[in-house]
Amino acid sequence: MNHKYYRQIIDLLALRPEGLKVSAIARNIYNQQGNLFSDSISYDSLYSSIRQFLWQQSQKKNSIIVTVDDKRGYYKLRSKYVVQTELNFASEDYLEYPCDIKKTTENPNAIQLSLYDED
């Protein structure tokens, strides 16, 4: 799982549950990484790297990446795999924005949050 573009590959495969062809994955990542003025990455090396990584991962028994049964060169995420979002509660940035909580008179259990600063 130590591939340079692992996160991008997983994100692309999560968007298409039916699977994606290796060339579509490589083209998408190439377009994200490369730009008009840089030749730092070649498409052929990127394609072969991604193809080799996907093949190796699909051969592992407990991998989240599997081959599509009836299509050669297509890969997808294992059906029971759920993409988990990473939540970071270590930073306290959310405490910098206090909001005013007001009780409503119609329903004492309901609270009303002000969306805009009212000066």
Span 44-81, pLDDT tens digits: 888 999 999 999 988 888 888 888 888 888 998 887 76
- Residue 71's contacts (CB-CB under 8 Å, 6 or more residues apart) are 19, 21
| Domain range summary for the chain, segments of one domain joined by + | 6-77
- Give the model's confidence band at 21: pLDDT under 50 very low, under 70 low, under 90 confident, else very high: very high
Contact 23, 44 (CB under 8 A): no
Share of the chain above pLDDT 70, in %: 61
- Give the model's confidence band at 42: pLDDT under 50 very low, under 70 low, under 90 confident, else very high: confident
Q: CATH class for domain 6-77?
A: mainly alpha
* 77-113 core/surface letters (b: 16 or more CB in 10 A; e: else): beeeeeeeeeeeeeeeeeeeeeeeeeeeeeeeeeeee
pLDDT exceeds 60 at position 91: no
Average pLDDT, rounded, for the chain? 75
Contact 20, 76 (CB under 8 A): yes
Span 101-118, pLDDT tens digits: 555 556 666 665 666 655
pLDDT exceeds 60 at position 92: no
For 20-98, strand residue ranges (E) read 20-21, 65-67, 74-77
The answer for 73, left when phi > 0, alpha when psi is -120 to 50, beta otherwise, is: left
